[in-house]
Amino acid sequence: MPSLLKLSVVFVLIAGMAWACAASQKQTSMTTRQSVLKSIYPALRSVTHFFGVNSKVETPDRPVEPLSSVYDIPFELIDGASSSLAAYKGKKIIVVNTASDCGYTGQYEELQQLYKESRGEWVIVGFPANDFKQQEKGSNEEIASFCKKNYGVEFPMASKVQVVKGDQQHPLFKWLSDPVLNGWNKQAPSWNFSKYVIDEEGRLIGYFDPGVSPLAAEFKHALITTKP
């Protein structure tokens, strides 16, 4: 495809996303906003996959033993209860930073489908964050209601946290993005719906950009790969 045509397609998509996001912010109905965002996602997924945008995948050559345990890091669930990833030891764990007003919000539906397919082999934990263009302004109660009402989310959701690097970065995301702690990876979330996969032994085995669908073959491969 000629370069000019590629640029034109990207421009049209970005313009459409900007319009949809602006329209969503004007709506007071959660259902209307959810409908707009869901209409964006299929096109966004297709175009980003085609152009390789937001599609970075980072994996080690082999599982690397972390220098500190991810299971020791506490966090708060969205209902206020205390928890940690130790509750899911022995399963693969998908950690994903989420947002309600993003072009990728439609991934909630894919994540829920993946969760239902797990048959107990893996778990998903969502961490709402307002770090990217303030696309998660809601309270924990509003986020929980949005996820359940619009996407039928059943997997665990945490209280809202900061995921980007800085003084306020949640310790779990510091572990995920600091090679001194996890053993190899330095990639922090690049946008909403960045995904990390931790294996049954508590080792980080993959980072996936928001443009990589949870249902993509390359993502599912990380979930079905057996531990050495």
Give the pLDDT confidence score for residue 179 in this predicted structure: 98
Cα 206 to Cα 62, 93, 220, distances in angstroms: 11, 11, 11
Say how far apart CA 153 and CA 109 lie, in whole Å: 8
Average pLDDT taken over every residue of the chain: 88
Whether residue 3 has pLDDT greater than 90 = no
Average pLDDT over residues 94-120: 96
Give the pLDDT confidence score for residue 61 in this predicted structure: 93
Give the pLDDT confidence score for residue 33 in this predicted structure: 65
- For the chain, the domains span 3-51, 57-224
Average pLDDT over residues 27-36: 59
Give the pLDDT confidence score for residue 30 in this predicted structure: 57
Give the pLDDT confidence score for residue 127 in this predicted structure: 99
Residue with the bigger pLDDT between 2 and 123: it is 123
pLDDT in tens, 32-75: 766 877 898 999 889 888 899 999 999 999 999 999 999 999 99
pLDDT in tens, 127-177: 999 999 999 999 999 999 999 988 999 999 999 999 999 999 999 999 999
pTM as predicted: 0.86
Look up the CATH number of domain 57-224: 3.40.30.10
> What is the DSSP annotation of the chain?
--HHHHHHHHHHHHHHHHHHHHHHHH---HHHHHHHHHHHHHHHHHHHHHHTTT--EE--SS----SS-GGG-EEEBTTS-EEEGGGGTTSEEEEEEE-SSSTTTTHHHHHHHHHHHSTTSEEEEEEE--TTTT---S-HHHHHHHHHHHH---S-BBPP---SSSTT--HHHHHHH-HHHHSS------STT-EEEE-TTS-EEEEE-TTS-TTSHHHHHHHHPPP-
Give the pLDDT confidence score for residue 227 in this predicted structure: 61
Say how far apart CA 7 and CA 5 lie, in whole Å: 5
Give the pLDDT confidence score for residue 50 in this predicted structure: 86
CA angle at 174 for the pair 171 and 175, rounded to the nearest 5°: 90
Q: Which residue out of 102, 114, 125, 147 is catalytically annotated?
A: 102
Residue with the bigger pLDDT between 20 and 199: it is 199
Give the pLDDT confidence score for residue 22 in this predicted structure: 42
Confidence of residue 101 (pLDDT cuts 50, 70, 90): very high
Sign (positive or negative) of CA dihedral 44, 47, 49, 53? negative
Specify whether 102 is catalytic: yes
